[in-house]
Structure formats: C-alpha cells, structure tokens
Copies of this chain bind each other. A is one copy, B any other.
Amino acid sequence: MKFVLILSLIALFLCSHLSLSFSIDPIEPSNLLPRPLILQYTSSIEEPSDSTLTQLRCDSWRFAVEANNLAPWRVVPTECGPYVRDYVTGLPYKFDLEMVARESLNHARTVEIKGDGMDAWIFDIDETLLSNLPYYTSHGYGLELFNAHEFDIWVEKAIAPAIESSLILYEEVRALGFKIFLLTGRSEGHNNVTIENLKRAGFLHWDKLILRGPNDKGKTATTYKSEKRREIEEEGYRIHGNSGDQWSDLLGYSVSSRSFKLPNPMYFIP
C-alpha cells in the first residue's frame, strides 16, 4: 500500500505540477492491475491538421534517413516531395550543412598533426563538396527515380557549384596540414570532368582523387569505399576525418576516427 501511495503521489505531482502533455498510466503497479505502465500522449494534444501530419511524417522520415534507420530507399515518399524541395532550397539545409562543417572543423583542430605528412582527411564529392541541386531541381528533388544517363549528362557539364560551407571547411582542413583524399563513387571515365568541375568550384588542391575503376564495378559504395580506405591506411595514413552525405561513405571497415554525415534527403546510395 505504501508503494501505491508513493506512486500515486508521484503521478499526482507530475500531472498537476508540471502540466505534462503525457501521463503515466496506470498509477498502480501491474501486480494489482493488469494494464502495463505505458508512456501515453493524452488527448489534450489537439488533433493535428492534414498539413501538420504531413510535416510530422516527413520530419520523421528525414530523421530516419539521417539516422540510417531506413532500408535502401529508391525515391522520396510522394507526400514528402514539397517538404524535401522546401528543405534543400531553404535555410534548414544551409544551417545543417554549416553545423556539420563547424563540427568537422572543431574536430580537425583537435588533431595533433604529426608533421610526417600522414594525417589524412577524406571527402566524398557529390552532395559533400559539390552540389547537384541544380540537377535535382529539374528532377523532382528525389521524387523521380534516379536516371544514370541523364545524371551523367549533367556531370559532364562540370558545372556543379561548391557547397559553400564545405569549401571553407576544405580550405581550413588543408591549411591545418591534412592530406586530402577525394573518394568518389564517380567512375574513372569522369576523371577529367570531375577535376574540371572541382577547380571551377574553387577546390584547387588535393593529394589524391580516387574514382571507381573497372575492378570496382558492381560493388556497393560501402565495400568500394572501405577497400579504398584500407588501402589508404595500408600506405601508412592516419584517417582522422571522413565527410560524406551517404552512410555508405562512412561505414564498413577502416572507418575514420570521426565521421561526418552531411544531410541528403534526395537520394540513397547503398
């Protein structure tokens, strides 16, 4: 009985004093009542409108994307098309990009650069250094199924702009003394246009640009990039940072001591 009393008092305190929008139900222990103790949201929360529901569902979908909770996905859910468009063309994407650049730089500054030229930072290219937003703008911001042929035509134009916060980070990381590895899922056939685009966008110096070779065909990005990171490690480099917009840039083996996930709700690469 004493326990029931304490529980009741706690529940009373929580409900009355703190104006919670959830309740603990029930207030008696389950050996007295069969109903379990469950975190519940009371009906005091107003019934959300359809647009609020869409916003909530798309927010949750984006959280699931960025926390790597989703199975491979092919296109943005139809109802989230406008949501993704507003996100990537508005301030939220810009703020998210700036935050991850800031955290990356904070980490880079804590690394003790040994002076032997073996302290490395890896950058992915697309949606990490270069933005393909102009392409996706005319392809539904991820609502359309990826079209490799059309995307290749875009890539060969070599006019993808830099993500500004990434360009600043890139220069700072380089100035700190890191060796810069660019590790991209682009194929070696795109070597020249990639260099052309990088330079046009302001990325002027790097130590190694790694593209998919003939032996990398058919491999998942996770496998291909892990293999390349292992090779970098085997050459004696210490990988202190890895920046990418896909989890497949960051996970696998030979992972960096810190990885930085840039936002990307437009497409998924396994």
Mark A residues whose CB is within 8 Å of B: 6-7, 10, 14, 18, 20-22, 24-25, 29-31, 36-41, 45, 48, 56-57, 59-61, 63-64, 66-71, 89-92, 94-96, 98-100, 103, 106-107, 131, 133-134, 137-138, 157, 159-164, 167, 199-202, 258-261, 263
Contact = CB atoms under 8 A, between A and B. Distances in A.
B21 A90 contact: yes
A103 B69 contact: yes
A36 B201 contact: yes
Contacts of A6: 157
Contacts of A14: 134, 137-138
A27 B181 CA distance: 28
Counting chain B CB atoms within 10 Å of each CB, the highest count among A10, A95, A137 belongs to: A95
B201 A91 contact: no
B69 A38 contact: no
A81 B189 CA distance: 50
A127 B69 CA distance: 16
Contacts of A95: 56-57, 59-60
Q: How many identical subunits does the complex contain?
A: 2
Given A24-B161, A60-B99, A69-B99, 18 more contacts: A6-B157, A14-B138, A18-B137, A20-B89, A21-B89, A24-B134, A24-B159, A30-B200, A30-B201, A36-B162, A37-B161, A37-B201, A41-B94, A61-B99, A63-B263, A64-B99, A67-B67, A71-B106
Contact of A159 (B37, B63, B131, B260): B37
A65 to B, nearest CB: 9
9 contacts: A10-B157, A14-B137, A18-B137, A25-B161, A37-B159, A37-B200, A41-B94, A67-B261, A70-B103
A168 to B, nearest CB: 10
A84 to B, nearest CB: 14
Contacts of A133: 22, 39
Given A38-B164, A200-B36, A159 B48 contact: no
Counting chain B CB atoms within 10 Å of each CB, the highest count among A10, A36, A48, A157 belongs to: A36
Contacts of A63: 63, 66, 96, 99, 263
